[in-house]
Structure 1
Amino acid sequence: MTTSVGMNQSDSVGMNKTTSVTMNITETAGMNMWQNATLDYALNATNILKIASENYSYDAKDIHTNAAEGIEVAATKDYIQNSEQTVHNLSGEIGHNA
């Protein structure tokens, strides 16, 4: 519509209108897209960093808990087994490893 109206009025006016309007729209849209892309990237990067930090904290806590439970269970079992063997040996009975 802009081109046909411009062409009906005169070639030079139509050319000027089309060029200036197109340039303004393109530059504005380009700037908006660039700003939005930059903001979206920054927000996404922040969210990813936050999620990664939270997951790392949870994973580290779980590993620490599991490690502590594993060590505690193993130490308790060995201690009880060794105590039973010592009692059997001291009482003159045959122990597990005797």
Structure 2
Amino acid sequence: MNSGNLIIGQSGGATAVINASLVGAIEAALKDTHIDGIYGMRYGVEGLLKENIIDLRQQPADLWPRIRNTPSAALGSCRYKLQEDDPERVIALLRKH
């Protein structure tokens, strides 16, 4: 089976559910031998478009339990509406990372 990278972004209202979902995805990815890099889009798709991306594997392990129930968006959120030319750029950036 092939391996690759995972990139996660957050969008919408900042709630404990958003962070719990983030932590669940990260914990699952850390256990998956087919996932190489785990990256986070700072401020959702807007962050991706600005290449504001962090390596989530480099974050301290004790961070995840602390943010699991914290009502916020740990990566930062956005409500950016994609423009007509954005999808091509998004695809190119996803392929890059």
What TM-score, normalized to structure 1? 0.20
Structure number with the higher strand fraction is 2
**Greater C-alpha radius of gyration:** 1
Greater per-residue helix proportion: 1
- What TM-score do you get using the length of structure 2 for normalisation? 0.20
